[in-house]
Structure 1
């Protein structure tokens, strides 16, 4: 088994009691509803200036770079909103045709392969041929499997897989990748990289209570996360690490509570971050931010809105330069007091890239907010273009452009 140098142990602090994601929750992972990424990959780079060839000449712009220059302000804004579609629901045409959403993710339980494939086909038909949608789903194994029945094979929970070791993880995530690829999807909103506090165990509702974590030892979890990412990549499926900087020490589920979601222990030098570092090194395409609060990183600010968490820690110290996305901001109680427009603009201000909403009816308001914010000045316009560039580069790396 590959060994990794663990991050230095942070000074001891009081641990938060932790809870799990409610099985009946509304979120994408995005709360881990079981009923219902410089990543080391090419998808980790943003569409920036053209590079130089070895002879000093300018390299030809990539497909993502060319497209970035051609998109309208609304198309750029739309790329930064990913929309959840519940099983049995139709995709509202305006989501992709008028608001130019960057893609969709599947919510709740999809038992029929045909239903998934029909939804995938509809998403592509509603989108511009030049701007295809990113298609994602929560598929972790165990209780959190949005694809079931003949849509995907059953796989064990992360807790069970972690106890067996990286080889078992690799086998399970290979099958997950095969099933997603067969349905026409490109992104798994997994694996969970959170390390569960051993003193909490099942009392950690978001992860431990639903058997979603690979374990309580940072190095063991890191090996399993890397195995999962590499297995997905082997099937052409992009992995999403979640929920940075970790939900293993919080009490309540951020989908259903704005209380008990503070982690006073996790800091910049915490060994519990090692699993995220391992996933990044293995080539994870995206990183999903937690909506919990981490006072040792930035007091009183949910991680998804924290520049200290995103720019300084995730990008600066861990070296991730791919798309950074939110957990659900559409139906989650943790952000219910934040005005809908700010749920998008605060992420962008903090250095993040795209919001996930489990409520499709919010799509237009979110895209409006991003488009208007980009018009406020050069810095805001630059940030939107930077994030859109990352999303387009991801699509190009997955063969969509």
Structure 2
């Protein structure tokens, strides 16, 4: 019996021929140059099907025919599977980008998308297919602040040339471990740590540094502050990513409200839109919504007295975005998380709280959404039909295409809540007008090099 040592075979395959094949196989499988996780993660496996047998037969003696035949069959099956996926991916993108331009523009303004391949995000902006950009470490790896700014300025120029209002450009720059643009931006502690060391009167100093850094790149929305109550103990055993114990301001609702309100007011005054997150608060969860849907265990009365208090009071006191977590509030909607729930958005936030600001989902590519029954497409439609303004896709645009295709199809079937969409467009237009005004003011001071078109100014 011949044992196949994959590691040894891989080492033997690292020859010039192997590298040549690997390079051209990557090009064949991924001709657009985009870094979609499926293809890059699995490419070496398929590479091994073709390269390893040849090298083993040359250097280890002749390979048994039956092993070679089985390997070849597996390779062909993998190649057929990949070709099918590539075809599906091509057809998916084609369906979205060839949609009626007016419809794509109308729906696209409700999508904020992250990227790694700059050419791909340029294509989406050129089609008017999105209303916002999310930037994080994936976008900036190996780039200077000047290079990042040039990319974002180019996207804004494309938007302006189309006669559209400025793109919303957002990031997670909380301070501490969640400082997605540091470096090149300066590293600051969390807001809670800053206040503990420097006092409440220093919040504006913290905000001023943060806002200067963000605006220097062209970022106009920050997904901060974190107003989830800080858990008194360690994170739940299944919480690998949220880690509110490290990011939260305080366990005390009054302190969180005071600090979060000061931060939000100052950030808005300095030209960057703040975002309260993660409604309704992740403090009491023992699960991680990056992996699965969370579920509040408190009664609504308990939630209102504790976790909801900072959200409610800050929203009543200043203008800010609100980010909805993928968390079920059983007393309001036992089935769907807040990010997809019409009861939460319309009954609680819009009517009872009278919040008329912009609502954005937490990342729609999290496990809580993509692993849920139906997947990301129906979830996107449900979120828009709940009255959410912006759907956030932080990773590669591939999942955006699935969500947008389903949204386009839902519109053609008459399944979208057009009244909610019209109200949402008014809210987004208001924010765009504010950003537009700041751009025009900076242009008059000679700080930026592009000027919006007359059509954009009319929005």
* Cα deviation digits, residues 231-279 of structure 1 (max 9, x gap): 2112111011111111111112211234xx2211152633321211233
Quote the residue 1:356 is aligned against. 392
The structure in which a higher percent of residues are helix is 2
Structure scoring higher RCO (CA < 8 A, sep ≥ 6) equals 1
Quote the residue 1:78 is aligned against. 108
Gaps spanning 5+ residues in structure 1: where?
A: 1-25, 27-70
Q: Whose Rg is larger? A: 2
TM-score (norm 2): 0.65
Quote the residue 1:95 is aligned against. 124
* Cα deviation digits, residues 85-128 of structure 1 (max 9, x gap): 24x75553332122520010102264621232022123213322
Quote the residue 2:263 is aligned against. 228
**Match among 421, 425, 432 for residue 384 of structure 1:** 421
**Match among 320, 326, 340 for residue 376 of structure 2:** 340
Q: 1:185 to 1:213 in 2, by over 3 A?
A: same
Quote the residue 2:88 is aligned against. none
Q: 1:352 to 1:301 in 2, by over 3 A?
A: same
Is the counterpart of residue 136 in structure 1 residue 170 in structure 2?
A: yes
Quote the residue 1:40 is aligned against. none
3-state DSSP of counterpart to 2:347: helix
Quote the residue 1:55 is aligned against. none
Quote the residue 1:251 is aligned against. 286
Taking the aligned partners of 1:201 and 1:169, their CA distance within structure 2 comes to 26
1:144 Cα shift? Answer: 0.4
Taking the aligned partners of 1:155 and 1:91, their CA distance within structure 2 comes to 32
CA RMSD between the two structures:
2.5
**Match among 231, 249, 257 for residue 214 of structure 1:** 249
* Cα deviation digits, residues 60-98 of structure 1 (max 9, x gap): xxxxxxxxxxx9222110001100124x75553332122
Number of residues of Structure 1 aligned to a counterpart in Structure 2: 327
Taking the aligned partners of 1:116 and 1:159, their CA distance within structure 2 comes to 29
3-state DSSP of counterpart to 2:334: strand
Quote the residue 2:325 is aligned against. 290
1:371 Cα shift? Answer: 3.1
1:294 Cα shift? Answer: 1.9
- Bigger mean CA deviation after superposition, 187-196 or 217-226: 187-196
The structure in which a higher percent of residues are strand is 1
Quote the residue 2:274 is aligned against. 239
TM-score (norm 1): 0.74
**Match among 188, 193, 199 for residue 155 of structure 1:** 188
C-alpha contact (below 8 Å) 2:229/2:307 kept by paired residues: yes
- 1:1-400, aligned counterparts within 5 Å? 72-86=102-116, 90-98=119-127, 100-108=129-137, 110=140, 112-127=144-159, 128-150=162-184, 152-164=185-197, 165-198=199-232, 200-203=233-236, 205=239, 207-208=242-243, 211-258=246-293, 261-265=294-298, 267=300, 269-337=304-372, 338-358=374-394, 359-377=396-414, 380-399=417-436
